[in-house]
């Protein structure tokens, strides 16, 4: 394989075709169904599907067959099949998006593509619109040199940001076409920096739901009710204390697991490589700092620890429009991140029971669960695959590959790991420092996207040749 030719081919595809199409993709507000209940009516998901499929049809890849699969009442899935030799590789990505969020810098916005300083800003470019393009560009680069590659089945879903609840139905529906993959390549993960290839070795699980505390059927004058009617916010805060230490942020023991020794060793290496970036990658306000001072312990906490965040609140007006009224209820959307080996369904049932049983002062309390997702911990990779990944990082990044756990969740990985226990996983991505997926000013680091694409090409070529 001529690595220089691979790099030139990939760079040309990115510059002339992929980036302009990503501009169009970012403009489409195709929010995941959890954030757009009327997604079918609005049609944005269909617009994004049509854009991506049009690009796929014009990619010029030999042997490519593609179609949009639609099961009744479910989000669409793009399926691409490219024949090859030397293995059966399943490549994964998604194209649904998180909601807008606030705080975008002047001139930037979720649906406004902007290129600046080697970055493409806008919602979904890095998470995970680039995946379908990078997957096909890697194959195109190999075909341009007449190099063999394995059979590649590319599966791009549109429900990942909602927990991939549609995906199991598609996996069952397509089981004969999927067959038995011996390698899964997923381009939807983080990278510790932009200087080397990062292999994700674990993903935390997730548990989300809305906790609602109701004390009145309607709001009343705070002076008339204060001292008699309890604050719904105070009771909600009291209920949260049942699972979270408000001072330390530590969660109840049943939401923790023992940390494997190899995880701590890996965390030491990651902390040594990233240094202050472990902390500095976030847009801190003022002098805010983490409760833990050790970088290695922070890596462990982020990848194998549990955490809870209040990501949404309801039942209260904006402060500028708040009167002296004691509110009838407070609702909080909660997201728990769970250790990779913790059973999410069992954890969800225990959290729900703790929240709803014995409500303080007889308040009406409910916790409406969404789809809990158990995390994933990769089995050890074969020496050949590890060598191929490391060689590709050295070739296209000029530095060895690094491994790390990731704090986020990709439900597809656990799903496939259970279904295909003998399969190996190459999980990586472009979400590095300050890329801020899900938040304001999300960006795709373009050069990293190109280099990751080249690494995928080398791994596919090595797979086909048996090296």
Mean pLDDT for 36-50 is 98
299, pLDDT greater than 80: yes
**Cβ atoms of 52 and 156 closer than 8 Å:** yes
pLDDT at residue 246, as a whole number = 94
pLDDT at 412 over 90: no
329 and 255 within one domain = yes
- Whether residue 248 is found in the same domain as residue 335: yes
Q: Are residues 135 and 49 in the same domain?
A: yes
Q: How far apart are CA 42 and CA 302, in angstroms?
A: 36
Question: What average pLDDT does this structure show over 452-459?
Answer: 98
Q: For residue 288, is it within any domain? A: no
Judge whether residue 57 has pLDDT over 90. yes
Those residues with Cβ within 8 angstroms of residue 453's Cβ, 6 or more apart along the chain or in another chain: 10, 14, 134, 137, 138, 141
- CATH code (residue 304): 3.30.70.360
* Percentage of the chain lying above the pLDDT 70 cut: 100
Q: How many Cβ atoms from other residues are within 10 Å of residue 91's Cβ?
A: 27
Q: Quick one: 211 and 198 in the same domain?
A: no
- Residues 461, 324, single domain; the answer is no
User: Which of 369, 384, 415 represents a domain boundary (last residue)?
Assistant: 369
Mean pLDDT of 306-312: 97
Is residue 280, in this structure, part of any structural domain at all? no
pLDDT of 142 higher than 90 = yes
In a domain, 291, yes or no: no
Residue 61 domain flag: yes
* pLDDT in the model for residue 466: 82
Separation of alpha carbons 294 and 277, rounded Å: 12
Is residue 218 domain-shared with residue 183, that is, in the same domain? no
- Which pLDDT band holds residue 391 (cuts at 50, 70, 90)? very high
- Pairwise CA distance, residues 403 & 427, whole Å: 10
- Summarised one tens digit per residue, pLDDT across range 320-376 is 999 999 999 999 999 999 999 999 999 999 999 999 999 999 999 999 999 899 999
Q: Rounded to an integer, what distance in angstroms lies between the CA atom of residue 126 and that of residue 408?
A: 14
Indicate if 101 and 223 belong to the same structural domain.
Answer: no
Give the angle subtended at the CA of 163 by the CAs of 158 and 166, to the nearest 5°: 55
> Which residue in 389, 301, 384 sits closest to 338, CA to CA?
301
Position 411 scores a pLDDT of: 86
Q: Lowest mean pLDDT of 28-32, 85-89, 252-256, 427-431, name the range.
A: 85-89
131 pLDDT tier (thresholds 50, 70, 90): very high
- Tens-place pLDDT, residues 215-240: 999 999 999 999 999 999 999 999 99
CB 399 within 8 A of CB 407: no
- Give per-residue pLDDT as tens, 156-179: 999 999 989 999 999 999 999 999
pLDDT tier at 108, thresholds 50, 70, 90? very high
Tell me the average pLDDT of the chain.
Answer: 96
Note whether 326 and 192 are within 8 A (CB): no
pLDDT at position 172: 95
- Which residues lie below 8 Å from residue 434, measured CB to CB, with a gap of 6+? 281, 283, 441, 443
Q: Which backbone phi and psi does 24 adopt, to 5 degrees?
A: -65, -40
CA atoms within 13 A on the CB side of 41: 3
**Residue the block writes with tokens 């599966």:** 155
Amino acid 210: pLDDT: 98
In Å, how far are 20, 24, 54, 104, 352 from 356, measured between CA atoms?
Answer: 50, 46, 49, 37, 6
Domain end residue (candidates: 351, 369, 387): 369
How far apart CA 129 and CA 156 sit, in angstroms, is: 9
**Tell me: the pLDDT tens digits for 173-197?**
999 999 999 999 999 999 999 999 9
In a domain, 458, yes or no: yes
Q: Does one domain contain both 155 and 230?
A: no
Q: Which residues contact 49 (CB under 8 A, 6 or more apart)?
A: 68, 76, 78, 95, 158
Predicted confidence (pLDDT) at residue 5 exceeds the cutoff of 90: yes
Cα 394 to Cα 196: distance, rounded to the nearest angstrom: 8
Packed helices 3-13 and 446-465: angle between N→C axes, nearest 10 degrees: 130
Q: Is 132 domain-assigned?
A: yes
Shared domain for 422 and 351, answered yes or no, is: no
d(C-alpha 466, C-alpha 333), whole Å: 49
pLDDT(443) > 90: yes
Q: Do residue 353 and residue 211 come from a single domain?
A: yes
Domain count, the chain: 2
Burial of 398 (0-12, 13-18, 19+ CB in 10 A): exposed
> What CATH number does residue 34 fall under?
3.40.630.10
Residue indicated by tokens 């290496």: 269
Q: Are 395 and 196 in contact (CB under 8 A)?
A: no
Q: What is the pLDDT of residue 371?
A: 85
In this structure, what are the phi and psi dihedrals at residue 379, rounded to the nearest 5 degrees? -75, 165
Residues 444 and 352 in one domain: no
pLDDT at 456: 98
Within-domain flag for 180: yes
Q: Which residues pair with 389 in a beta bridge?
A: none
Is the model's pLDDT at 467 over the cut of 80?
no
- Domain-terminating residue out of 369, 385, 409: 369
Q: What is the pTM of this model?
A: 0.91
User: Do residues 199 and 209 both lie within one domain?
Assistant: no
For tokens 């890996």, what's the residue? 266
Residue 283 lies in a domain: no
The domain of 269 spans 205-275+296-369
């Amino acid at each position: 394989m001529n690595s220089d030719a691979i790099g030139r081919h990939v760079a040309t595809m990115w510059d002339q075709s992929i980036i302009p199409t990503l501009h169009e993709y970012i403009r489409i507000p195709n929010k995941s169904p959890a954030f757009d209940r009327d997604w079918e009516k609005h049609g944005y998901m269909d617009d994004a599907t049509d854009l991506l499929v049009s690009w796929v049809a014009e990619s010029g890849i030999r042997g490519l067959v593609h179609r949009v699969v639609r099961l009744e009442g479910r989000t669409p899935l793009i399926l691409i099949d490219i024949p090859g030799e030397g293995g059966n590789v399943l490549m994964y990505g998604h194209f649904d998006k998180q909601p807008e969020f606030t705080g975008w810098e002047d001139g930037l916005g979720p649906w406004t593509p902007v290129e600046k300083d080697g970055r493409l800003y806008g919602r979904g470019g890095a998470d995970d619109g680039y995946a379908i393009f990078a997957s096909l560009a890697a194959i195109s680069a190999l075909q341009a040199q007449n190099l063999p590659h394995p059979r590649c089945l590319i599966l791009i879903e549109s429900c990942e940001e909602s927990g991939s609840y549609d995906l199991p139905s598609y996996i069952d529906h397509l089981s004969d076409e999927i067959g038995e993959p011996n390698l899964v390549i997923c381009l939807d993960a983080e990278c510790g920096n932009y200087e080397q290839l990062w292999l994700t070795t674990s993903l935390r699980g997730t548990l989300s739901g809305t906790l609602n505390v109701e004390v009145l059927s309607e709001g009343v004058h705070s002076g008339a009710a204060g001292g008699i009617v309890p604050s719904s916010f105070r009771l909600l805060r009291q209920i949260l204390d049942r699972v979270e230490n408000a001072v330390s942020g530590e969660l109840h023991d049943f939401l923790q697991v023992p940390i494997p020794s190899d995880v701590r060793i890996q965390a030491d290496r990651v902390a040594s490589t990233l240094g202050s970036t472990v902390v500095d990658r976030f847009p801190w306000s003022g002098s805010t700092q983490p409760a833990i001072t050790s970088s290695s312990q922070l890596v462990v906490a982020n990848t194998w620890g549990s955490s809870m965040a209040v990501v949404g609140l309801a039942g209260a007006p904006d402060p500028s429009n708040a009167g002296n009224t004691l509110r009838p209820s407070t609702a909080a959307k909660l997201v728990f991140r769970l250790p990779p080996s913790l059973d999410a369904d069992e954890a969800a049932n225990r959290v729900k029971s703790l929240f709803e049983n014995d409500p303080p002062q007889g308040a009406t309390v409910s916790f409406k669960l969404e789809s809990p997702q158990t995390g994933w911990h990769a089995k050890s990779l074969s020496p050949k695959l590890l060598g191929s990944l490391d060689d590709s990082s050295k070739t296209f990044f000029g530095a060895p590959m690094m491994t790390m756990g990731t704090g986020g969740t990709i439900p597809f990985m656990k799903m496939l790991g259970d279904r295909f226990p003998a399969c190996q996983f190459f999980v990586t991505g472009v979400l590095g420092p300050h890329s801020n997926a899900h938040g304001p000013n999300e960006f795709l680091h373009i050069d990293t996207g190109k280099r990751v694409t080249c690494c995928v090409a080398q791994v596919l070529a090595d797979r086909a040749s048996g090296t």
